[in-house]
Structures are given as structure tokens and as C-alpha cells.
Structure 1
Amino acid sequence: MIAEVLLRARRLVALAPMLADPRAVPPVGKLRKGMRLVAADVPRGVAALEAELVQLGFLLSGPLRDALSGLEADGLAKVGRRVLHWARNEVGAGAEHIPLFRKFPDSVPQDTQDFYVRRVFSLLTQAAEQPCVLCGERRTVHPVSPCAHLVCRLCWDGADFSACPICHRRIAAGDPFLRPTGPPGSAGTAPRGVLARPVAVLGLCDDPAEAVRELTGSLLERRTPMPPHERAELRTLLESCWPESAAWLPEAIPVKETRAVAMAVAARHGATALLEAHLETATDVLRLLFELMGGDPGLRVAPERLALGRGMRRVVLGCLDRMAVPYLLEDLRRHARLWVRMGEVLHPHEHARRFPVAAMAFAALRGTALDGGTAFGRALLARAARHPEAVRVRDGRLRATTFNGLVEPALAAKRYEEAAGLLAARPGELVRRLSQMLRLSPETLLGPGAVLEDAVQRVAPGVLVSALGLLRAAPGSRRLFLPRGGTARFWTLPDERSPLADEVVLGAEDVLTAELLRRASALPGVRRALLDEALADLVAPTSERAASKALVRLTRGSRQPIPDDARLRFFLHWAEPPGTRVDLDLSVAVFDESWRFAGLCDYTRLRLGSALTHSGDLTSAPMPLGASEFIDVDVRTLRGRYLVPVVFSYNDVPFDELVRGFAGFMRRPEGTLFDPLAVRQRFDLSGPAKILVPLVADLWSRTSVWADLNLSAAGYGHQVARSGHELAALGRALGEAFEERVTMWELACWHAAGRAREVLVRRRDGAVVRYERRPGEPVAGFAARLSARADAPEGRPDGVELAILVRGDVDLPGDAGVYALYPDRSGGRRLEAADLLSGLAP
């Protein structure tokens, strides 16, 4: 497992762990003939492995090729199978793609309604002893397995259909209806010399132990919430290396969800002393409980079964008992419903004598009636009397006084200085409320001696960056609200708040930017930095807790160019668990320039003129084959401007119940159904959602905005025709809501201005220009010149120690820090976008 984590996260092949791992690689797909030479001839085997990897978009670095050549034949075969298995799954070629119409797109019916009528007519009127109701031929009607629908072998082409023509459920592989039609679903090759996406280089992991330690430390110290798949990788690294990994834990783990994962590993191994050192709030404890019980430490998905051992219950109650009473009471109320359920597991009142503060806090949460005539009631009332600032007694019940209960009355009474003073004690809360406070009383936050300048010095960089983006939002633009759960319905509305004065926005922006530049200047300096202007299309990450695992890791709101090809192909693949039928549908909605609905392509309309063609609706996906659907887009003939692909769970089964599920898009491959080299993006279907909107494409500007929105819905029969208004609102709001957010270009400029004397910038046309910090020039001035892309002389990308790029196609020294959206080269020390933001921690 460690080897797979290093391969995915760092593109490093760790030979020793792969050779030592006794597990067999699952038989997914088929290896090419050349790979079977490995066991007999090592040099030819290495060449065959590299040839297969090239077809998947990956290359071997020189050191890795040499190391593979030094292996025994059996070892090379084992490593090669593992690397190929990972690479195929990474781009979506690990599954066999067979759509409903195996001769797609040529055999897709022109008239979907006529096709539907023929299916329904056959279903309702066909009898086994009668001639075919469509063509009248005798002895051609037979049932298919396993659905037993009666199918005429003349009217329905068994060489084209891969499922029952009547219900579109998969047919058993040996059913006589199915006839050969060539090698379906084979992964072909892009035209020679044409690559749809950059080829990534796989490097050799010289020291797996050090690489694991470095990766684990990087994940633990990250300042932005991680997506679920990265939390799972961190869990794997900590578990696999325990107890050594206990020493890797930093003194403070910044992100709450990450802290819960680490503490759960420690708790399972009996290192409960670490819990006392790291769990600071009741919400930290709640996240730990969710993690221990198999739930989501982000508190979005509750555990299915609440259970905890006696020893761990005492440890948890001890942690709560040591917390400051005001914060404990407030934290419990913040997640009151969840804590009431957890109270049923913890039984705090049974341990009231040992943990009186925890028992008192739960009594206040539940509103328990306390009888002063009992020992239990007297003890809790006496404990409450010690904290009159946090809890009061009313009608024999304890009532908590919360922080918001102090702030909101002050704001309502227009006591803004008092409210600002309260918020200054919690600087993160102050910055999150920055837009509100600036509208109410800008003078209490800005100016000499005001609270904002001092507060920002203690705030996490993600909060500062988020506040900066919200401040700069254009007046009247649409606001997009995405509920924290990640699967609830979003909503959008025009920003009707009173606009902030320009001088207020600029003043607050100066304070936030100055603090971020101050932190960048405190980082280790570099001689020369290399930046890429195209970073302006990428939104800087502030939270990735709901991000899908994807081939190209984009932050929501980021823009990327659409391939120049005339045709694109969207794809969807899934496999259902035994005993559960899962019917997913790939759909595309088309809108005009005013976001009016202009057409669709889905199972109800397989063709939209010659512009959109659907491969057919499969209504089941049994293992091992699963099911695949495709939609071809002819950009030249499509009438409309905006295109929104959507994945629906038609029968309301959430994505997290799938055995596997992913979607994506590619340049349309010529002569093959699925070409790994043509894949531009591939992302997992995950979580409790039932609707996924991956992106919004603007065909006029040839750009797409990454949405990555998992939405939930109730009921049966989800389809795009019922969601047109909602998708239009989402598409319109998505572009406006992220228009002024902080970009990777700004983040890169802060790093470069604060750390480097000389900065090279690669323009969008490929030209490289050089900026040098002038004598006496302040960091803010240098950063402003970089951000504004002022005129500068040409330069050469030599001696670079920090590179922040879109395409990592530059040869760099091994010790250089490198962020690249498309990491084409193996040189340098790889950085994630979140690492750059985490570097600006206070």
C-alpha cells in the first residue's frame, strides 16, 4: 500500500516495498503481448513496460529504467504489473469499456422516440409462442439472460447490442444473443506524434522510508483540509509505519480533520497520551469519535454504528473534562444534535464524580432537570456556580452563554467597538466576518491601532485568502452558496448588499496582502524563481475537503482551455455491488449565451442533430464488466454556447455504494473507443451524492470552469430535463462567484516577491522575461510589479530554485521546489498547491 501511495502522490516507484508486498495485482484489463516477454528477457521486458506506459501517458526516468534493468525477471514482472495496474486505473483504462451500442457512434439510432416505441411494443405484446411483433418472422424470438425479455434476433442486432435491447440491463456473457463484433473496448493509440495531454515521468524512489516520512509530514502540516482520498492515504502511511510514525507527528497539526485521522491511529495503538496533547476542543474530540467509528472526520457523514469501548470512553470524557468550560459548552452546542447522539455512547452522567465538568456540559446541552435534593443534582449545580460567565441556572436547568450570544446582541445594538473587541479574541472569526464588519463599521477595523492589523497575524492563510477573494467580489455579482455537507442543494442569488467603498476594500486588501507578503518574506530565500502567467487561470485552494480524486487536480472555479479538436468525448464507467442494481446516466445540457435551455443529450434523446451522440443507456453494471456510457460532442455543429455534462444516479443509489465509478472527457480518439493518451481529465465518483456536475464549458471562449459539485436529490428518475433551471443557475453563478478569487498567479507572486531577488516569468506565448528587485524596493512594490505583469527584458530559465508552473516541462535541479499542474518532468522536489499556501502559515 505504501508503494501505491508514493506512486500516486509523488509519481515515485519504490521498488523494495513492491517486491516485498505479497499481494497479487487484481486482473484488470489485459497486458499487451510485449509485457509477457518480461519473464524471459529483462531488457526486452523493460522496453515492453515502457512501451505500454507510453500508451497510458507515462514515461520512465533514466534512473528508474536503470534500476528496473537490474532486477531479476520475476521481480521486474511483479513491479511492472503493479505500475501498469496503477497507471491504467489513473487514466480510466483499467476497466473494459463496452457501451450499449458496441458500434458507437455509427449505430446509434437517429430517432430515439421510434427506438423507445419499438422497445415498449416488444415488451408489452411479444409472446414466446408467437412470431416477432415487429418483423413477423417465426422462430427468431428467444429470451435473454438474466432478465428473460423476449428478443428477436433479426430486429435487434446481437453484434451491436451489449445489453438487453428491451430493458438495457447487462446480458450474461455466454448468452447466444451476443455475437462477436471485434475487440470491443480496446484501448487504442493516438495518432503518432500527437499527444492530447502532457506525458508524466515516473521517477525512482531511492529511499522509500525517507520519502514516506517526508510525504506524511507534508500531509500532517498542510493548512487546508484534504479530500477523502488523501486522508485515506495519510491513514495508510501512519498505520503502516507505526510506531515510527508517532515520532513524525508535529507539535501541532493545523487542520482539524487531519488531526482526527492521526489521533485515531494513535488511539487504536494505545497512545492515548497523544490525544491529551492534541485534542484542544470538543469538536476535535467529536471528529476523533467519527473517525474511530468509521464516519467522516469532517462531520458531514455520521457513522452507521455508534460503539466505543469502555477504556476509550473514559479517555474521551477525560479530554472533555480538562477543557475550559466556556469553550466546551459552546463547542457542544455548535454540534448539538451530534453530541446528543454521542452522549448515548459516552454515558457522561455515569461518570459524573470522576468527570464533573464533562457531566455538567452534557447536562447543559440536554437541558437535564437537576434536583438539588440529590447528590447528582447538587454536584452539577455547584460545578455550574463556579462558572457564572459561561452557564446559568433557569427553572432547574443549566443554560449556556455562548460567544455568538455576546457578539450578536452587541452588533444589534450597534456597539461595534465592543463586537470588534470580542471578535479580536478569536481572530479567525473576525476575518471570516470581515465583509460584514466592514459594512457596519469600517473605522473599528481599519486605521492606526485598529484591530484588523493585529488580528490577521494569527489567522490561517486559507482564511486570509478566502476573505481577500470575497472582499474583491464585484457589486451585484451572483453569490453561490455551497452547503458544507458537500451533497446538499446549492443556492444562488444576486449580491444585494450595500457595496463597500473603494477605499475600504483597498484598505482591507492592503492589510491582508501585507500580512501574506510578510510571511512569504520570512521563508527561506531562493536565488531565482520561475513563474507561469497561465497560473492566473487557476484558483488558489483554500479547502479541498470535498474535492474528487482526479487525474488533473484543479480547485473549484479554475479555468482550463478546451482542446482545439473539433470533437470531444465524455465518458462514464461504473460497477455495482452484488445484489444492488445501479443505473447511472451520463447527460449533457446545452444553453445559449443567455443561459436559456437549448437542448440535451441523454437516454431520452440519443442524438441532438449531428452535434451530440449518446452511446446508449445501460441500466445495470454487474461485476466484473460494469457499464460504460459515452457522449460525443461535435463542437463545430453544436448550436449553443454553454455545455454542462452531468452524471445522475437514476435510481437514487449514492455514489459511495459503487464498487468503482469514474467519469471524464477526452479528445475524441480516432478508430478506437477509449484512448488513454486522449484523456484530458478523469475523476472518481464518490461520497453520498447522486448527482455530479464536473465542469461548465464555454464553447465560444473554448474554456471550461471546473465545478466538481456533488449534489444530492431525493426520489427516483433523476434526469437532466428536470434539472435545466438549476443547472443554468449553477453555470451562471459559477463564473461570477469565482471571478475575483485569489489565483495561483497571485500566490506565486507573493512567494517569489518575498523570497527571490530575481524572478523569471513565462508568458502565455512562451516568451520568458526577467524581473529583478530594485535596490530599496519594498516587497509589496516588487509583488505589485509581478502581479501587474509590467514590461521586462527577456531572460533564460537557468539556476531556478523555485518553480510554480502550469506545465512542468522545464529541466530543473533535484533540490528545486516545483509546483506543476501537469508534472511533465521528474526533476525537483514536488510541491502541491496546498503546500504553497501552507508555507504562509503564521
Structure 2
Amino acid sequence: MTITIERLVVRHTHRVPVPDGPAGARTDPGGAAARRFDAALMSAGFKLSGELLGALSRLPEDTVGDLAARVLRVVREMAGDHVRHNAYFRDFPDGVPDTLDFWVSCLVDALADPDANVEIVGGALNLLSLPKYGRYLHSYEEMLAAHDELIAGADRMTVLHAGRGVAEEAERLFLSLAGSVTPLTEEERDVLRVLAAHCTEAVPDAIPVRENRALVNQVRVAEGGDLLLDTVTDVLRLACALSLGDVTLAEPTEFLLTRRERRALLAGLDAVVRDSPAKLGDVAAHRERWKRLGERLHPHEYPRWPHAQDVFAVARGEKKAPSFAGRVEALLAADDVAGAAKLAANAPGVLFRSLDRLLRIDPDAAGTVLDAAESAAGRVSGRVLLSVREHLLNRTKRTNGARVFANRTGGGVAVADTRPPLPPDAFRRLKNLLEAEIGSRLPAPAHLVVDPAVLDVALPLSGKATTSGLGVLPRGSVSPVDGELLRFFVYWKQRELSTDFDLSALMLDRNYGDPQWLSYTSLRKVGGEHSGDITQAPDGASEFINVSLRKVKAKFVIPQVNIYSGEGFDEVEESFFGFMLRDEDQRGRPFEPKTVRMKSDLRGPARIALPLAFVRGTDGEWQAKWMHLHLRGRMQFNTVEGNRISTAELTRSVIERRYLTVRHLVDLMEPAELTMLDGAPPPAGPVTFIGLERPEGLHADSTVYTLRNLRDLIPA
């Protein structure tokens, strides 16, 4: 368990827990081992900070060697270097043939083979029937031998910092995840579940996100501790957690509960309803789930908890309990907008999420609606305030008339925006209210130090539908592309069924038209090459796309992963996507971990993944805009040609949408001193730092916000 916890700490904090232990007889007993460790890390694009190198040098050599072996496994997995990446065309990106020539050569070889069984289906050649097509024709070692060593360039170097002991670092990570004011990613929720069972004595100051609360309550049930429950839905989420199901309630859960767990749930449910009977109104939102849970809890067998029985009576329709939302809707149906706003003020989050609608329904009631908003603003979470502020950014004349919707699993759809504009006076008053309330909750540091690279990172208002990984930014973030060659990669390993993932790249002009693509049906285009189609992956398979940003003519380059056949992203043993950046004169293997700028797991029920898009600016420089979206697609035979229209529409809606970024919060802060850290060493004393990575030499007592805890910037 200690090694598992250590792995989670390194992966999610980029800190290495420094083991306790006496130093050897020499003053630098582990120095040589630490330097070898640092050199091995650099081959994967990581390195030890000066502080960590010094701390390890004081430890025994064997201790450093054992730690190095464990950490190297973690960082290689983070960069995608824990598997063998082979390419169909051995010399890729050199030696990629014209698509038609390649197919003809495959056919000629098949016709020359008396044992080949070439299939013609519907008058078309079935490529999968050609013996030479879709299967590696050389070994991994033969591919390596065909490539020169990687020439040093502007490669990524991620610094690992010194941590405290494993137990202290685990508790630190647990408190950070449990106390997050924004929903976590799926991977982070899994980490929280593990750490909650490990850090049973750690008590978060608050657990604002209800999914997180369910995972902590799960452990408290086992420990016999007090439960954090204030709504009936909290109890439903806890039942899902105890059954190892989906605490977000997005997917159904089969309830498997012990007698002890059933009693805990019924007691908690009874206490919630006893203290506030109006909370029965929340039952209708999950009526069918409550019915299924009631079949497992048998509430009628426990007469001492009569209020818990009321919940299931409401679910069965035997008892009426109007929901809060229903009461608000009844007032709106009666054209009483002012009354609806005043009622909604009792649930401030509901009121603020409904402001746009209320202001549009009856502009004459705008004053009353905004009066209610002002009275409730102090009770609204910072995340909701920022979400409404971002919403206002896209309710101006600058928007393109399209809206993008994304569900919890990243499924995206773009629709036309047919809403009338907000009344100008109401718009300005609401904007000023939000700015004032958000600004009052932000810290006013004595000395704020900012890495300019973080300013265009979108605020992580939710981790849902965003995968964890190396160099992954929130949806809507913009980051510069500082290389000349852009190389995408996908890796997958099937579990049971023969599975074919297809890496493709759609290229569009400035009007999101004139589509061209790189894929298995188009191996070469001006400025790019595809590594070749692999059609099954029992031992794992990789595909690559290489794009010369100087040669490509398109305005937008949109990588995507299509599931052509077989298992889905949630069903394969492993799958991930990423991209590398290289200079034109760099060679190396198709996959070089030092050049990986982003790598993230592919997850979700959809069949087409759209991780990000690359955009050429008016100055000719390229930027990445992060999407984290999926298209549902078909169960099989998804291709870039078949989804080019929906991909273009969805990409346009994200590219042209305005997102609230770190820059906005920095502008609202009022530090006594502000320093933009652009390559210079950090100040000597304690500061508040905001950046992508913690810089070397930052004072130990500094308050630090990086990609790993950027959500802590969101005010409570």
C-alpha cells in the first residue's frame, strides 16, 4: 500500500516523498546514485530539482536506487513511455508511400500469394483481407535500428520536487482533493477513494463537492464515524459509493450493501428528513434510483426511522412532495417572474443559474430579479459566480451565434443560439455585481509572482469530462506551440475483441471549410504523414501523424481518434492520446518521451475523441486550444471523412467561445507588488506564485498554484 500511495503522490503532485533513514558514513553516500537517477529521468523528460537531488544524495545508495526504480516507472507511464511504440511504416515519417500506391502494393502481394483470400464486398476491396495490411511487418527492435539518435532540441523537462514522508504527502494530497471547490476528474475521484481509506485521521475543513463527500462518507461508514449529510441526494450518492458505483449519478449503480451499511443509510436519511421535511422535494429528481435502493434497504423493517420511509413513499408516488424547482416553475407559468426570483433566492445557486432566463422572460422585472441576486450573492459558491461570469462573456455581440453543450462524459454538441440579447442595463449591473463579489473573495497577496504562460489557461470550473495526464489543460485553455514539427500519437491495447483505433487529423481553412485530412485513407498530404493503419492490438499498437507547421496550409488542425471497430475507450485494457513537438532538424524514434508535451488517457462511452485543436494565428504562430470533447459516433466504421461536418461545427463553437482564464482572476487581485516571471529567477522571499510549474529556487514558505492545484484559486 505504501508503494501505491507513493505512486499517487508522484503522479498527482510531482513531488517525490523523501524516505527517512540515516545517511551513510560518507557525506555524500547517495550522490552517485542520485545523479544516475537524474540522468535516467532526463531521458523521459523529467529531472530532479536541486533540493531533491541534495536530499537524495544524503541517503544510502541502496535507498536511492530502490526509490529511483519506483519513480522511473511512474514518470515513464505519465509520458506514455511504459509501452513499446512501433509504427507500421518502419522509417516513419520517412518512407510513407502514396495511399493508392500502398494499397496496390498490398493487393499485388496478396495476388502473388496462393494462400491469400482477397475479399470483395459490395464491389469494393476489403483491405483487412490483405495479408500485408494492418499488421506490423517488422519487430520493435528493427524499427529502432532504422532511426538515428534524437538530436537535442527544445525538449520538455518537467521538474520533480522534494516532498515530505509518504504519510504526510498522502494526507496533504487527500486534503487537497477532498477540499476541492470544483468537481474532480474521474481519475482524481479514484485517487480520493484510495486516500480516504488510507488517511482516516485527516479531517478536511470542508468538503464542498458532494461527490467527494460521498467518497469520504464511504470510509466513515466503515469506521463508524459521523456522516456528512444534508440532503437526501447525499444519501443516494453514499449508497452508490458503498456499492462501488458512480457517485456522480451519471450511470446506474447496482446496489450491493451489507446490513451495517443499510442501517447507516436509513439512519442518515431519517435524520436529514426529520430536520428538514422540505428536502423530500429532491426525491423526484432520482425517483427510479430511490425505488431500486428501497428494494435493497427494506425501510419498512425499521419502524424507528419513519422519516426514511417517507422518502420511498414519495418515490413510489404515495406521498406528494413538490420540488423546489417545481415551485419556481409554477410561478413562472403564472407570469410571476418577480415572485419566482424571490423564491429562488432561498437557493442562491439556483437563482444565479437562472438569471439569464429570468431577465429575458420579463425585462420589466429585471430590477426585482437583480435585487434578489444582490441579496443572495454572498451565499453563492465562487464556482457558480465564475460560471455565470463566463456565461456573460458569451452573451455579447462578439459571439458567433453558436452554443456548445458538453455532458459529464465529454459528449459535445453545437447548436444555434436563438436567445434574444439581455437588456443592456441589466447586463452591466449583473456584470458589476459578479466582478465585485468575486474580487472580494480573492486573496490580496503582498507579493504576487505570475508565470505569463498560465494567463491564458481556462479556470478549471469542473474536472468532469477532463482527463488527468501530463501537460493537460482545462477545456478552453490556449497554449503556444513552440516547435516546428507536430506529432500526434495514439496507443491502445485490446482486452478481448479485435479492436481498431484510427488516428486522424482534420484540416480546415479559416471558414472551417475546405476539409482535408491525414488518415489511413490519406497517408500523405502537404505538410504531413500518417504512420500507417494498425487494425488490431492484442499486444498493443500505436499510430502517429507527423505535421510540419511550416508547410501545412490550413488554419485549423484537429486531431481525433476514431474507433473503427471493437472495444470502446472504457473497454480496452489501455488507451491514450498525446502530442510531441520537435524541431525540423531533430530525428529520433517515432516516439520520444522527452518531446511529449501532452499525454492523457482516452476514456468515455463515445466512439470519437477530440482532445484539442491547433490554430494558426494572424501572425502565423500556432496555438493549441483544448477541447476535451467527444462525438458519439457509430458503433463501428467511424472515419474522419464521415464526421468532418460535425467535427467542424463543434470545433468552431469551442474556438470562438470565450472562456474565463487565470488572467481574469489576476486582474481582479490587488497585490501590493506584482512580478511577471518570464525566465528570470524568482524573488528570494516568500511569495504567492501562479504558474504552470513550480520554478526552481522558489522560497519554501511560498503559496503555490500550479496545474496540479489550480482549482484552489477558485474562491469558496
Same fold by TM-score, threshold 0.5 exceeded?
A: yes
User: The residue matched to 1:695 in structure 2 has which SS?
Assistant: strand
Shift of 1:404: 2.1
In 2, the alpha carbon distance for the partners of 1:314 and 1:767 equals 59
1:219 counterpart residue number? 177
**Contact 1:96/1:185 (8 A) holds in 2:** no
Q: Deviations over 1:192-229 (max 9, x none)?
A: xx3233x2322222344333322222222110001011
User: The residue matched to 1:656 in structure 2 has which SS?
Assistant: coil
2:25 counterpart residue number? none
Q: Deviations over 1:596-641 (max 9, x none)?
A: 1421111222222x42211111112223xx1111001122332321
**Contact 1:652/1:714 (8 A) holds in 2:** no
Shift of 1:463: 0.5
In 1, the alpha carbon distance for the partners of 2:150 and 2:516 equals 32
**Contact 1:587/1:601 (8 A) holds in 2:** yes
User: The residue matched to 1:45 in structure 2 has which SS?
Assistant: helix
User: The residue matched to 1:322 in structure 2 has which SS?
Assistant: helix
In 1, the alpha carbon distance for the partners of 2:290 and 2:402 equals 32
Alpha-carbon distance change, 451 to 366 in structure 1, aligned in 2, over 3 angstroms: same
Q: Does 1:760 align with 2:675?
A: yes
Matches for 1:726-805 after TM superposition, within 5 Å:
726-737=646-657, 739=658, 741-750=659-668, 752-753=669-670, 756-761=671-676, 766=678, 797=683, 799=685, 801-805=687-691
Alpha-carbon distance change, 43 to 817 in structure 1, aligned in 2, over 3 angstroms: closer
Amino acid at match of 1:115: F
Matches for 1:287-302 after TM superposition, within 5 Å:
287-302=237-252
In 1, the alpha carbon distance for the partners of 2:33 and 2:211 equals 44
Shift of 1:440: 3.0
1:233 counterpart residue number? 191
Shift of 1:43: 4.2
In 1, the alpha carbon distance for the partners of 2:498 and 2:52 equals 44
Alpha-carbon distance change, 448 to 91 in structure 1, aligned in 2, over 3 angstroms: closer
**Contact 2:494/2:567 (8 A) holds in 1:** no
Amino acid at match of 1:56: A
User: The residue matched to 1:560 in structure 2 has which SS?
Assistant: strand
Q: Give the counterpart of 2:71 among 83, 87, 95.
A: 83
Q: Give the counterpart of 2:297 among 346, 353, 357.
A: 346
Q: Deviations over 1:441-466 (max 9, x none)?
A: 46756589921112110111110000
Amino acid at match of 1:485: R
Q: Give the counterpart of 1:323 among 272, 282, 289.
A: 272
User: The residue matched to 2:383 in structure 1 has which SS?
Assistant: helix
State which drifts further: 667-676 or 75-84. Answer: 667-676
Query: What is the root-mean-square deviation in Å for CA atoms of aligned residues?
Result: 3.1
2:210 counterpart residue number? 256
Q: Does 1:548 align with 2:499?
A: no
Amino acid at match of 1:812: L
Alpha-carbon distance change, 274 to 649 in structure 1, aligned in 2, over 3 angstroms: farther
Paired residue total: 689
State which drifts further: 690-699 or 796-805. Answer: 796-805
In 2, the alpha carbon distance for the partners of 1:11 and 1:317 equals 41
Shift of 1:561: 1.3
1:485 counterpart residue number? 408
Shift of 1:693: 0.4
Amino acid at match of 2:290: W
Shift of 1:808: 4.7
1:405 counterpart residue number? 326
Shift of 1:249: 3.5
Q: Deviations over 1:524-582 (max 9, x none)?
A: x53211234554422111111221112113110111112241x21111112222x3322
Shift of 1:115: 2.9
1:594 counterpart residue number? 511
State which drifts further: 426-435 or 324-333. Answer: 324-333
In 1, the alpha carbon distance for the partners of 2:72 and 2:149 equals 16
In 2, the alpha carbon distance for the partners of 1:5 and 1:18 equals 22
In 2, the alpha carbon distance for the partners of 1:186 and 1:353 equals 75
Matches for 1:4-83 after TM superposition, within 5 Å:
4-16=7-19, 43-83=31-71
State which drifts further: 662-671 or 41-50. Answer: 41-50
Shift of 1:120: 5.3
2:425 counterpart residue number? 503
Shift of 1:326: 5.1
Alpha-carbon distance change, 259 to 697 in structure 1, aligned in 2, over 3 angstroms: same
**Contact 2:109/2:132 (8 A) holds in 1:** no
In 1, the alpha carbon distance for the partners of 2:316 and 2:631 equals 33
Q: Give the counterpart of 1:620 among 522, 536, 550.
A: 536
Amino acid at match of 1:339: W
User: The residue matched to 1:514 in structure 2 has which SS?
Assistant: helix
1:562 counterpart residue number? 481
Q: Which of 1 and 2 has greater Rg?
A: 1
User: The residue matched to 2:233 in structure 1 has which SS?
Assistant: helix
1:337 counterpart residue number? 288
Amino acid at match of 1:9: H
1:640 counterpart residue number? 554
Amino acid at match of 2:89: F
Q: Deviations over 1:674-709 (max 9, x none)?
A: 222211111111233332101111134511210011
User: The residue matched to 2:502 in structure 1 has which SS?
Assistant: strand
TM-score by length of 2: 0.89
In 1, the alpha carbon distance for the partners of 2:147 and 2:213 equals 44
1:691 counterpart residue number? 608
1:519 counterpart residue number? 441
1:423 counterpart residue number? 344
In 2, the alpha carbon distance for the partners of 1:632 and 1:460 equals 44
Q: Does 1:127 align with 2:114?
A: yes
State which drifts further: 405-414 or 117-126. Answer: 117-126
* 5+ residue gaps, structure 2: 23-28, 120-127
**Contact 1:590/1:642 (8 A) holds in 2:** yes
In 2, the alpha carbon distance for the partners of 1:554 and 1:241 equals 28
Amino acid at match of 2:250: R
Alpha-carbon distance change, 835 to 150 in structure 1, aligned in 2, over 3 angstroms: closer
2:26 counterpart residue number? none
Amino acid at match of 2:82: G
Alpha-carbon distance change, 423 to 447 in structure 1, aligned in 2, over 3 angstroms: closer
User: The residue matched to 2:272 in structure 1 has which SS?
Assistant: coil
Q: Does 1:832 align with 2:709?
A: yes
Alpha-carbon distance change, 187 to 485 in structure 1, aligned in 2, over 3 angstroms: farther
In 1, the alpha carbon distance for the partners of 2:454 and 2:366 equals 32
**Contact 1:573/1:663 (8 A) holds in 2:** yes
**Contact 1:529/1:803 (8 A) holds in 2:** yes
In 1, the alpha carbon distance for the partners of 2:223 and 2:141 equals 58
Alpha-carbon distance change, 307 to 438 in structure 1, aligned in 2, over 3 angstroms: same
Alpha-carbon distance change, 334 to 711 in structure 1, aligned in 2, over 3 angstroms: same
Amino acid at match of 2:195: L
Alpha-carbon distance change, 448 to 118 in structure 1, aligned in 2, over 3 angstroms: closer
User: The residue matched to 2:515 in structure 1 has which SS?
Assistant: strand
**Contact 2:86/2:143 (8 A) holds in 1:** no
Amino acid at match of 2:700: G
Amino acid at match of 1:569: R
Shift of 1:230: 1.3
Alpha-carbon distance change, 355 to 810 in structure 1, aligned in 2, over 3 angstroms: same
1:373 counterpart residue number? none
In 2, the alpha carbon distance for the partners of 1:663 and 1:337 equals 37
Q: Give the counterpart of 2:498 among 563, 570, 581.
A: 581
Q: Does 1:461 align with 2:377?
A: no
In 1, the alpha carbon distance for the partners of 2:461 and 2:178 equals 16
